[in-house]
């Protein structure tokens, strides 16, 4: 059975200046998520994620995991790919790309 995927598309980098809005907007999607569904964070427009941004992503993954759901993260930047491996975010969510 195909899992229903809810997608949030970030318009740019996830930094301390944007992480609050990012969390607020994704939280609204999480509120509608059920356990068999997937949250997809499309970060292909992002080239940078700073510590506050990472904190927001970790909070999102935790909130989604608490619901029994899963998170996919789409990325296009090599740096983000490295960052996901370095921070071991790739052990907590499915990283797709680049």
Partner 1 sequence: MGLAKFIAKLPWLGAKKTTALLFDEAQVRSQLREATATLESVFGNLSENIIEIDSRTESLKNHCHTLLELAGGHNNGTTIILEAAQALEDPMQYIEESLDKRRDLKNLMSVCEKITNTLLHRQNEMIEKLKPLKFMLVFYKIEAANLTAEHQSTFITVSDEFLRLHTMVDKTFRENIEKLTDAKSRISRAVDNFVQEHNNHTRQVKRHRNIISDTISSLNRQLSENSLQNTDLHYATEHFQSALEKLVIALQTEDIFRQRCQHIEDSLDNKPNHLSNLAWALLNSRKIDAAAREMREASKQVDESLKAILTQANELNDISVSMKQFKHMTASADGMIQILLDSFDGMYGIFKHSEKLSSDAQEAVSPVKSLVSGLSVIVNRVSINIQFIALNAQVKSIQVGEGSGLEVLAARTAEISTELKELGDETEKDIEKMQLTVEKIAQLIDEDRKSSANLAGNLGEHDNSNTQNLHNLRNDTFNTLNHISETLNFVKNFLEKDRDKLDEFPLVASSLEGIAQSILEVSGISKLDATELALLEEEIVDELIEAEKTSHTSLNAHKETSLEVFDRNADDSEIVNTTGDVELF
Residues that bind partner 1 (CB under 8 A): 16, 50-52, 54-55, 57-59, 61, 79, 82-83, 85-89, 91-92
Contacts of 1 (CB under 8 A, 6+ apart): none
Strand partners of residue 5:
38
Exposure string over 39-71, b if 16+ CB within 10 A, otherwise e:
bbbbbbebeebbebbbebbeebbebbeeeebbb
Q: Tell the smallest beta-carbon distance from residue 24 to partner 1 (Å).
A: 13
Q: Of 2 and 31, which has the nearer Cβ to partner 1?
A: 31
Q: Of 38 and 58, which has the nearer Cβ to partner 1?
A: 58
Contacts of 27 (CB under 8 A, 6+ apart): 60, 63
Q: Tell the smallest beta-carbon distance from residue 65 to partner 1 (Å).
A: 12
Q: Tell the smallest beta-carbon distance from residue 58 to partner 1 (Å).
A: 5
Q: Of 10 and 49, which has the nearer Cβ to partner 1?
A: 49
Q: Of 38 and 47, which has the nearer Cβ to partner 1?
A: 47
């Amino acid at each position: 059975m195909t899992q229903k995927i809810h997608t949030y598309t970030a318009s740019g980098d996830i930094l301390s200046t944007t992480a609050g809005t990012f969390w607020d907007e994704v939280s609204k999607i999480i509120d509608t998520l059920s356990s068999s569904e997937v949250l997809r964070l499309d970060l292909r427009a992002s080239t940078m994620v700073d510590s506050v941004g990472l904190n927001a992503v970790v909070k999102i993954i935790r909130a989604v995991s608490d619901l029994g759901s899963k998170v996919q993260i789409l990325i296009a930047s090599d740096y983000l790919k490295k960052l996901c491996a370095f921070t071991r975010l790739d052990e907590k969510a499915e990283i797709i790309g680049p």
